[in-house]
């Protein structure tokens, strides 16, 4: 029997890839300094197949509210502890016993039998409600493994703009870099570079042409068919508006991310690139609301870069669906299931490290008043399930990272709600209120009890 795997915390925090974001003494983000607006950011983050309960959460070390250390699964969050809130004990009452139902209801709070979401996810709602005038109402990112399902299904889609209407995430860092940052690069005051001028001139002609081309063809179609061409026409019109706007935020703080691969390849490299793109997208104020999924529900990912040659979902079923006490498994279970639990923890720690990296990148951007972009941000990290083998959603594990623009309790917080008292709808409402929205209910009304005031500042 092996002892608990010794984890090199630094490996996950620093990583092998340096980035252009890791520059010290950056100038404050000009958009902040100039406008004085209290800009708040939300990131919904997802990892798959649940947690290992007895190795997730905290070890209480004293009587004070912040007297704890993180257990294995969350250990990479240690340097960020003062801006972490671990929320245990919430129930996802909207989910009916499957990965799919958990995924479809995770950010929407609408009851799901596992076919689709019953309504818009909170990010889409907030993006529309905030109407912040940013280039993108929301941004959706995915780190995709080669084993992931390709289709647009309830297993792969986390974000819904409406009931039954999934939103596709960006899973290609090259395409995201090109699309998101095509207007970014020039230093303030410098003449635009010739390549950008040329691109802009060509796009002006191309957009005008494709709009006319689509209009002409659409006019010949019957209405259901026409709606498809109209949708593409609207899509190009959206791109046109984005790209023909000025260079947007300029200056050293908002720049094209340039992830240096170092020794990273495959999924691990893709993850770092997506983290850098997401962090810089917020720094450039492209959006206030974003989401990030690592793989998808029932993740079939085989994390060979962690020396694990089995699918994540398969390993989650090697762990037991039943032990006498999940918070404190008996020695027999510990011995029997150590291999499966150790693998799951290793995967969990990797993901915690990536989310910690994201948070630390956000922390590189000062916003004035001694604060950073991380202080203005709430990262809400959850999964579609609690115990992967049991397929339960009670309790549903959540971790919040960031300052929440001063609305989130600081200093480091762990809370465990008593069973059957609060649902995760209450957390969704809390996120909305942190973002300045006044809603008191989200998802299915009957599942709401109001915001989680215990975790608010």
Partner 1 sequence: MLVTTHYARARRRTGVFSAASALFLACAALVAGCNGSVSSGSSHRTNANPDTGSTRGPAGLGLYEPGTCSGSTPTVNRAPVRRISRLEYDHAVFDLFGETSSPAEKFVAEEKVAGFNSNTVTPPTALNAEQYLGAAETLSKCVVEGGAGCTTASYTTLSGCSGPTDAACTETYLKNLTRRAYRGTASPDDQQRIVGLYRDGQSIDANAGLELALQALLVSPHFLFIMEFGTGSSSVVPLSQPEIASRLALALWRSVPDQPLLDAADAGELGTAAQVETQARRMLADGTRSASMLGDFVEQWIGIERLQNVSYAAADYHADWPNGIDWPTLRNAMEHETLDFFTRATQNNGTLGQVLTADFTFGLSNELATLYGATAVDGPNVAADDRRFSLPANRRGLLMQASVLAAESHPTRPSPVLRGKLLRSALFCDPPSPPPPGVNQAIPDAKDTVGTSTSDLIAAHAKNPTCANCHQLIDPLGAAFNHFDAIGGYQETDNGGAVTTSGNFNSLGALSGSFTDAQDMVQKVVAQQSVVGQCYALQGFRYALGRAEGAGDACAIQQVYQRFADQQFSLEEVIVAITGSDAFRYRTQVTPGQSCQ
> Which residues are at the interface with partner 1 (CB under 8 A)?
96-98, 101, 113-114, 146-152, 165, 167-168, 170-172, 175, 178-179, 198, 201-202, 205-206, 209-210, 213-214, 217-232, 234-236, 238-239, 300, 302, 309-311, 314, 317-318, 321, 389-391
Q: How far is the CB of 223 from partner 1 (least distance, A)?
A: 6
CB nearer to partner 1: give 180 or 408: 180
- Upper half-sphere CA count for residue 331 (Cβ side, 13 Å): 1
CB nearer to partner 1: give 159 or 435: 159
Give me the sign of the Cα torsion angle 25, 31, 36, 42. negative
Query: How many whole angstroms separate alpha carbon 166 and alpha carbon 100?
Result: 13
Taking CA atoms, 79 is separated from 64, 74, 149, 353, in Å, by 19, 11, 35, 11
CB nearer to partner 1: give 123 or 171: 171
Query: How many whole angstroms separate alpha carbon 321 and alpha carbon 327?
Result: 13
Q: For the sheet containing 398-402, what is the strand order? A: 139-143, 289-294, 41-46, 377-382, 398-402, 84-88, 413-416
Q: How far is the CB of 177 from partner 1 (least distance, A)?
A: 10
CB nearer to partner 1: give 27 or 228: 228
Q: How far is the CB of 135 from partner 1 (least distance, A)?
A: 11
Q: How far is the CB of 27 from partner 1 (least distance, A)?
A: 30
**Helices (H), strands (E): how many in the chain?**
11, 13
CB nearer to partner 1: give 105 or 433: 105
Question: Is the bond preceding residue 395 a cis peptide, omega within 30 degrees?
Answer: yes
Taking CA atoms, 306 is separated from 18, 53, 268, 333, in Å, by 20, 21, 10, 24
Q: How far is the CB of 227 from partner 1 (least distance, A)?
A: 6
Q: How far is the CB of 22 from partner 1 (least distance, A)?
A: 27
Q: How far is the CB of 324 from partner 1 (least distance, A)?
A: 17
CB nearer to partner 1: give 137 or 402: 137
Q: Show the DSSP H helices in 120-222 as ranges.
A: 122-130, 173-180, 194-218
Nearest to 135 by CA among 35, 31, 292, 242: 242
CB nearer to partner 1: give 317 or 371: 317
Q: Following DSSP, what letter does each residue of 83-99 receive, concatenated?
A: GEEEEES-B-TTB-SSH
């Amino acid at each position: 029997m092996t002892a608990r795997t010794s984890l090199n915390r630094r490996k996950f925090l620093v990583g092998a890839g340096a980035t252009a974001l890791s520059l010290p003494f950056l100038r404050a983000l000009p958009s902040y300094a100039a406008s004085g607006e209290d800009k708040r950011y939300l990131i919904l983050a997802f990892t798959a197949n649940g947690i290992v309960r007895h190795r997730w959460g905290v070890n209480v070390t004293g009587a004070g509210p912040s007297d704890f250390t993180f257990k294995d699964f969350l250990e990479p969050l240690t340097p960020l502890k003062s801006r972490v809130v671990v929320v245990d004990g919430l129930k996802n009452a909207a989910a009916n016993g499957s990965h799919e139902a958990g995924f479809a209801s995770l950010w929407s709070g609408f009851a799901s039998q596992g076919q689709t979401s019953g309504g818009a996810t909170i990010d889409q709602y907030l993006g529309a409600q905030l109407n912040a005038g940013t280039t993108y109402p929301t941004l959706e990112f995915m780190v995709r493994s080669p084993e992931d399902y390709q289709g647009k299904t309830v297993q792969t889609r986390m974000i819904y703009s409406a009931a039954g209407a999934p939103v596709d995430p960006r899973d290609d860092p090259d395409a995201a870099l090109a699309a998101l940052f095509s207007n970014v690069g020039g230093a303030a005051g410098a003449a635009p570079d010739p390549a950008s001028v040329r691109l802009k001139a060509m796009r002006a002609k191309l957009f005008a042409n494709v709009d006319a081309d689509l209009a002409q063809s659409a006019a010949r179609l019957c209405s259901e068919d026409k709606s498809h061409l109209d949708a593409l026409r609207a899509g190009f019109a959206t791109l046109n508006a984005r790209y023909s706007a000025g260079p947007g935020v300029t200056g050293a703080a908002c720049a094209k991310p340039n992830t240096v691969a170092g020794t990273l390849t495959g999924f691990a490299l893709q993850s770092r690139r997506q983290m850098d793109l997401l962090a810089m997208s917020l720094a450039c104020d492209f959006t206030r609301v974003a989401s990030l999924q690592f793989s998808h529900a029932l993740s079939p990912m085989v994390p060979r870069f962690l020396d694990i040659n089995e699918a994540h979902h398969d390993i989650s079923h090697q762990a037991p669906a039943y032990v006498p006490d999940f918070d404190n498994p008996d020695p027999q279970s510990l011995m029997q299931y150590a291999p499966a639990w150790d693998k799951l923890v290793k995967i969990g720690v990797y993901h915690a490290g990536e989310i910690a990296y994201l948070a630390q990148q956000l922390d590189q951007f000062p916003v004035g008043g001694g604060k950073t972009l991380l202080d203005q941000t709430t990262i809400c990290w959850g999964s579609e399930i609690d115990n992967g083998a049991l397929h339960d959603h009670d309790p549903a594990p959540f971790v919040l990272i960031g300052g929440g623009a001063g609305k989130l309790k600081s200093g480091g917080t762990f809370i465990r709600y008593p069973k059957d008292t609060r649902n995760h709808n209450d957390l969704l409402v809390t996120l909305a209120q942190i973002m300045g929205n006044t809603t008191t209910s989200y998802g299915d009304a009957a599942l709401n009890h109001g915001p989680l005031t215990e975790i608010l500042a």
